[in-house]
Structure 1
Amino acid sequence: MSRLPGSCPFPIAARGLRSMMSRPILAITALAATLAAGLVPVRAEQTVTTRYGVSIIGLPVGKASFDTTIDGSRFSVKGTLSSAGLGSLVSNTRGTSRVAGKVTSRGFAAESYGLDYTSDAKRWSSDVAFSGGRVTSARVGPKRAKAKPDYVPVQRAQLRSVVDPLSGLMIKTGDAASVCRRTLPLYDGWSRLDLKLSPAGTRRFDMPGFSGNAAVCKLRIDPVSGYDRSSKGLKFLKGQTLELWFAPIAREDVYVPVYAHIPTTVGPLTLSALSVSVD
Structure 2
Amino acid sequence: MQFRRIAISLAVLCGVVLTPATAPAAADRVVTTEYGMALIGLIIGKATFDTKIDGNSFSVKGRMSSAGLGQLVSKTGGTSQVSGRVTSRGFAPERYGLDYTSDGKRWSSDVSFRSGRVTGSNVSPKRSADEKPSYVPVQRSQLASVVDPLSGMMVRTSDPASVCRRTLPLYDGWSRLDLKLSPKARRTVSLSGYDGDAVVCNVRIDPVSGYDKKSKGLRFLKNQTIELWFAPIARPDVFVPVYVRIPTTIGPLTLQATSVSVK
Match of residue 118 from structure 2: 135
Match of residue 12 from structure 2: 25
1:1-279, aligned counterparts within 5 Å? 16=6, 18-19=8-9, 25=12, 28=14, 30-36=16-22, 38-42=23-27, 44=28, 46-145=29-128, 146-279=130-263
Structure 1 SS opposite 2:133:
coil
% same residue? 65
The question of whether the paired residues in 1 share the 8 Å contact of 2:39 and 2:251 is answered with: yes
Change (3 A) 1:66 1:15: farther
C-alpha deviation, 1:129, in angstroms: 0.4
1:104-160: CA deviation from partner (whole Å, max 9, x where unpaired): 122211001000000000000001000000000111101123311111000001001
1:12-51: CA deviation from partner (whole Å, max 9, x where unpaired): x99516448xxx725x351541331x15224x5x443211
C-alpha deviation, 1:56, in angstroms: 0.3
- Larger CA deviation: 194-203 vs 46-55: 46-55
Structure 2 SS opposite 1:181:
coil
Structure 1 SS opposite 2:174:
coil
C-alpha deviation, 1:278, in angstroms: 2.7
Task: Give the Cα separation in 2 of the matches to 1:234 and 1:64.
Answer: 24
Q: TM-score, normalised by structure 1?
A: 0.89
The gaps in structure 2 that reach 5 residues or longer are: none
Change (3 A) 1:125 1:29: closer
Q: TM-score, normalised by structure 2?
A: 0.94
Q: Detail structure 1 runs of 4+ shifted over 4 Å in the superposition.
A: 17-20
Task: Give the Cα separation in 2 of the matches to 1:177 and 1:131.
Answer: 29
RMSD: 1.8
Q: Partner letter of residue 21 of structure 2?
A: L
C-alpha deviation, 1:272, in angstroms: 0.3
Task: Give the Cα separation in 1 of the matches to 2:81 and 2:174.
Answer: 16
The question of whether the paired residues in 2 share the 8 Å contact of 1:51 and 1:273 is answered with: yes
Task: Give the Cα separation in 2 of the matches to 1:95 and 1:186.
Answer: 20
Q: Partner letter of residue 87 of structure 2?
A: T
Task: Give the Cα separation in 2 of the matches to 1:117 and 1:147.
Answer: 24
Match of residue 9 from structure 1: none
Task: Give the Cα separation in 2 of the matches to 1:172 and 1:217.
Answer: 15
The question of whether the paired residues in 2 share the 8 Å contact of 1:34 and 1:168 is answered with: no
- Larger CA deviation: 107-116 vs 62-71: 62-71
Task: Give the Cα separation in 2 of the matches to 1:228 and 1:208.
Answer: 41
Task: Give the Cα separation in 2 of the matches to 1:178 and 1:50.
Answer: 24
Between Structure 1 and Structure 2, how many residues are aligned? 260
Q: Partner letter of residue 98 of structure 2?
A: L
Structure 2 SS opposite 1:251:
coil
Task: Give the Cα separation in 1 of the matches to 2:195 and 2:51.
Answer: 21
The question of whether the paired residues in 1 share the 8 Å contact of 2:17 and 2:255 is answered with: no
The question of whether the paired residues in 1 share the 8 Å contact of 2:202 and 2:225 is answered with: yes
1:167-194: CA deviation from partner (whole Å, max 9, x where unpaired): 0011111111111011000111000000
- Larger CA deviation: 151-160 vs 70-79: 70-79
C-alpha deviation, 1:71, in angstroms: 2.4
